[in-house]
Amino acid sequence: MIIAVATNDRKTIAKRTGRAAEFAFYQINGNKITDVTFEKNNHEHHDHDRREGNHRQGRHGQGLGHRHGHGNHHHEEEEHSHDEVIEQLKNVDIFLVKAVGKYMRGDLERGNIPFKLVKGENITDIVKDYIKSLSEN
């Protein structure tokens, strides 16, 4: 079994799943963690900054590189794709997340990536708790 968790520091779960720096991949055999690897998140982060209103401010308060009017709505789902993340997670059995936004949720569902909302901070503890919950069911 392979369990994935989004992380920024290799210790705690990322609060912003799609914007995490890395993914931790835990290899599980039986009820034990046998290996952990980390992969850089290949998702392009700069598009989120523009869409979320975090424009870099230039002169007179105009965002740098911001060329469209605020009333001009783009095809959000097309622009807000997490295809790179889905590709990275395609072989996992479960993706444990702290939170998942509507675009990420839709992309995970379309990519048939199973995910579960979890509590806690330490990624190893979260994985161990998930493994323990499997043996209790």
How does pLDDT run across 82-95, given as a tens digit for each residue? 778 899 999 999 99
What pLDDT is recorded for position 78?
Answer: 42
Number of structural domains the chain divides into: 2
Rounded Cα distance, 11 and 99, in Å: 17
DSSP 8-state code for residue 17: G
Count of other CB atoms within 10 angstroms of residue 95: 22
Looking at the structure, do residues 90 and 131 belong to the same domain, yes or no? yes
Rounded Cα distance, 118 and 40, in Å: 22
Q: What is the pLDDT of residues 3-55, one digit of tens each?
A: 999 999 999 999 988 889 999 999 999 999 999 999 999 875 544 443 333 33
Tell me the residue range of the domain where 52 lies: 46-81
Looking at the structure, do residues 14 and 51 belong to the same domain, yes or no? no
Looking at the structure, do residues 58 and 122 belong to the same domain, yes or no? no
Count of other CB atoms within 10 angstroms of residue 39: 12
Q: What is the rounded average pLDDT for all residues in the chain?
A: 79
Q: Return the CATH number at 37.
A: 3.30.420.130
Do the beta carbons of residue 82 and residue 18 sit within 8 Å?
Answer: yes
